[in-house]
Amino acid sequence: MAPHPANLIAKLCRLGIAGSFFCAQECFKSAFLFNPFDNYAFTGTVRPVYPLSPRRIIPPEIPRPDYAEDGVPHSEMRREALAIKILTPEEQESMRAVCKLAREILDIAAAAIRPGITTDEIDALVHEETIKRGGYPSPLNYREFPKSVCTSVNEVVCHGIPDQRKLEEGDIINLDVSLYREGFHADLNETYPVGKISEESQKLIRTTRKCLDAAIAMCKPGTLFRDLGKVM
Task: For residue 187, give the nearest of 120, 228, 138, 131 by alpha carbon.
Answer: 138
Asked whether residue 2 carries a pLDDT value surpassing 80, the answer given is no
User: What 3-state class would DSSP assign to 42?
Assistant: coil
Asked whether residue 5 carries a pLDDT value surpassing 90, the answer given is no
Asked whether residue 16 carries a pLDDT value surpassing 90, the answer given is no
For the ranges 47-61, 79-93, 138-152, 165-179, the lowest mean pLDDT is seen at 79-93
Q: What percent of the chain has pLDDT over 90?
A: 75
For the stretch 35-78, pLDDT in tens is 554 677 888 999 999 899 999 999 999 999 999 999 999 998 88
For the stretch 184-216, pLDDT in tens is 999 999 999 999 999 999 999 999 999 999 999
Gyration radius of the chain's alpha carbons: 21
Task: For residue 44, give the nearest of 205, 171, 175, 192 by alpha carbon.
Answer: 171
pLDDT at 83: 84
pLDDT at 12: 42
pLDDT at 13: 43
pLDDT at 15: 47
Most confident of 13-22, 109-118, 217-226: 109-118
Q: Where are the domains of the chain?
A: 42-197, 198-232
**Mean pLDDT computed over every residue of the chain:** 88
Query: In CATH, what class is 42-197?
Result: alpha beta
For the stretch 142-167, pLDDT in tens is 999 999 999 999 999 999 999 999 99
| pTM, to two decimals | 0.82
Mean per-residue pLDDT, 25-43: 61
Per-residue confidence at 114, pLDDT binned at 50, 70, 90?
very high
Asked whether residue 4 carries a pLDDT value surpassing 90, the answer given is no
Asked whether residue 6 carries a pLDDT value surpassing 70, the answer given is no
Angle, in degrees to the nearest 10, between helices 119-132 and 89-111: 140
Mean per-residue pLDDT, 96-120: 99
Task: For residue 66, give the nearest of 13, 2, 16, 30 by alpha carbon.
Answer: 16
